[in-house]
Amino acid sequence: MGGKISREEMKTLRKETRGKLDQKEIQKYHKFWFDLYKDGNMTKEGFVKFAQLALPNWDGQTDVDYLFRAMDNNNDGTVTFKEFLLFQSITAPSAEPLNPMELIDLAFDMYDEDRDGFVTVDEMRESLHNMFKAKGMNVNDPNVKNQIENRINNLLSLADKNNDGKLTREEIFTACEKDPQIVAMF
């Protein structure tokens, strides 16, 4: 798949990205990807190098684990071109806005660090900490710490129906169906 994209491959890629990326964008990403990753696979170390090039204000570690986890759909420790493309179709500036369930799905994958199907308070705290830090906020500021804790507590009170201190994807989906404002917490 490293050479030119065949018509059939393009059709498949457009289908997998639900048509959110046009042919020109897919070709641009394809060239970029295979110029960087000759074998078609990006490791977490490769992602760090990519982030250093693409994000000049990046501090070197913030967001790596949870962004990489969000892209590595099959949790094999590498990101393929298709996995990268799917992530781009959701997050790229040119992509259509996410529907609420896509946003929840993406956020859940980023927050669920150990991929056990639950998002714990500690996982939420770490992910929100990274998200606020990526937005340039001082996460050591007591006001920011309070914002993070309030967001966690609000989400738990709205979605954690069995009161076990952790959330499943289904609990979040159900809560969002009842109260669409929950999506804003992500």
CA dihedral 105, 110, 112, 117 (to 10 degrees): 30
pTM, to two decimals: 0.61
Token pair recorded at residue 81: 């071109």
Q: Of 91, 117, 138, at which residue does a domain stop?
A: 91
pLDDT tens for 78-102 read: 999 988 888 877 766 655 666 777 7
**Count of structural domains within the chain:** 2
Alpha-carbon gap, residue 29 to 145, rounded angstroms? 37
The verdict on residue 19 lying in a domain is yes
Residues 156 and 80 in one domain: no
Residue 115 and residue 42 share a domain: no
106 shares its domain with 181: yes
* Same domain assignment for residues 83 and 115: no
29 and 73 inside one domain = yes
Is 171 within a domain?
A: yes
Give the domain CATH number at 176.
1.10.238.10
In a domain, 2, yes or no: no
**What is the pLDDT, as a whole number, of residue 88?**
79
- Please give the average per-residue pLDDT across 169-173, as a whole number: 91
58 is in which domain, residue-wise? 7-91
% pLDDT > 70, the chain: 87
Domain boundary pick from 43, 70, 91:
91
Instruction: Let me know if residue 115 belongs to a domain.
Output: yes
Q: Residue 64 has what pLDDT?
A: 75
Residues 117 and 43 in one domain: no
The whole-number pLDDT of residue 145 equals: 93
C-alpha pair distances (Å), 173 with each of 47, 106, 116, 146, 177: 30, 12, 17, 25, 6
pLDDT at position 113, please?
82
- Residue 9: strand, helix, or coil: helix
Q: Is residue 139 part of a domain?
A: yes
The last residue of one of the domains, among 56, 71, 91, is 91
Are 176 and 101 spatial neighbours (Cβ–Cβ below 8 Å)? yes
